[in-house]
Amino acid sequence: QESKLRQVQKMEAVGQLTGGIAHDFNNMLAVVLGGLELAKRQIDGDPAAARRHIDNAADGANRAAALTRQLLAFSREEALRSEPLEPVALVKGMSDLLDRTLGDGIKVTVNAANDAAWLVRSDRHQLENAVLNLAVNARDAMNGRGQLTITAAAETLAEGAVGTCRAGEYVALSVTDTGCGMTPELLERVFEPFFTTKPAGKGTGLGLSQVFAFVRQAEGEVGLRSEVGRGTTVTIYLPRYADGTVAEPHSENAAIDLPD
Ligand code: ADP
């Protein structure tokens, strides 16, 4: 009985998902086709106007590309390549990318608390993507001005301390902003695919649901703390990967060559 109900709910979710994607994607294609059509008409008479229409078309195409990228990250088309990683080092390696993405108005600080050199086992690309998603949300919440703090800390969680986490050791990677914050009602909905408060074309509503799917797949958890008008902290808890921390002295690669 229960599994049947779950099946129906799943199908509903899939229906909503594909309907939403098709709708968004169609809108983006309409921008591309409309732009090209207008450009074609004006290319002889008004080349400058034609160029603007082509830029618009390119914009629409880029947004469609971003959407499919996000969808690919969702489906497991992109093979996960898990390896032992040090989250602080990973985030520090992203500093140029973060500066470029966030713009001049946002100051980025990376902190490592206590034993943050703990390793996690994760896909580098997906973890970077998750941090980038959180940073972009922080930027939007701060309207391009404010302080973004990324902190890595070693934490021992009790069972159920965050979501449905199991008891154990985790690396907690927090992204804190000084932005608009969220009401409790909003907090309840942010993990829903396609839930967004951003204007059409600016948000897909897939960022946090993607982060959530990735972290849960890694048997981690996501914590949210937010206060309206003060800011938000999103914390990704990833299970500590302890087996690979002691490398054989004569083999530099011992820590990253372990089989799955
Ligand atoms: P998108 O960013 O495309 O809207 P997300 O799933 O990443 O999709 O976020 C969903 C919604 O959650 C956002 O539209 C916004 O309302 C809210 N949100 C996410 N992160 C933050 C944040 N750091 N501060 C305030 N609101 C946020």
The pLDDT score that the predictor gives to residue 9 is 64
Q: Which residue, by CA, sits nearest to atom 21 of ligand 1?
A: 137
Determine phi and psi for 251, rounding to 5 degrees.
-125, 105
Determine whether the shortest distance from the Cβ of 211 to ligand 1 is under 6 A.
no
Q: Average pLDDT over the chain, rounded to whole? A: 84
Please give the average per-residue pLDDT across 108-113, as a whole number.
89
**CA of 94: how far to CAs of 39, 98, 150, 202, 244, in Å?**
38, 6, 11, 23, 23
More confident residue, 40 or 113: 40
**CA of 240: how far to CAs of 61, 96, 131, in Å?**
40, 27, 18
The pLDDT score that the predictor gives to residue 246 is 43
Give 187 Cα–ligand 1 centroid separation in angstroms: 9
Determine whether the shortest distance from the Cβ of 203 to ligand 1 is under 6 A.
yes
- 112 CB contacts (<8 Å, ≥6 apart)? 88, 151, 152, 153
What atom in ligand 1 is closest to the CA of residue 137? 20
End-to-end CA distance of the chain: 36
Considering 1-15, 74-88, 184-198, 219-233, the range whose residues carry the highest mean pLDDT is 219-233
Most informative mutation of 190, 211, 234 for ligand 1 (most atoms within 8 A of CB): 190
Determine whether the shortest distance from the Cβ of 141 to ligand 1 is under 6 A.
yes
pLDDT for 163-188, tens place per residue? Answer: 989 999 999 999 999 999 999 999 99
- 113 CB contacts (<8 Å, ≥6 apart)? 151, 152, 153, 154
The pLDDT score that the predictor gives to residue 223 is 96
At 255, the pLDDT band (50, 70, 90 cuts) reads: very low
For residue 45, is pLDDT > 50?
Answer: yes
d(CA 174, CA 235): 4
Give 93 Cα–ligand 1 centroid separation in angstroms: 24
Give 28 Cα–ligand 1 centroid separation in angstroms: 21
- Which H or E run includes 121? strand 120-123
- Which H or E run includes 86? none
**CA of 43: how far to CAs of 29, 38, 40, in Å?**
21, 8, 5
The pLDDT score that the predictor gives to residue 26 is 84
d(CA 84, CA 122): 6
At 3, the pLDDT band (50, 70, 90 cuts) reads: low
| ipTM > 0.95, yes or no | yes
Please give the average per-residue pLDDT across 200-212, as a whole number.
82
Determine whether the shortest distance from the Cβ of 137 to ligand 1 is under 6 A.
yes
pLDDT for 5-21, tens place per residue? Answer: 666 666 666 666 666 77
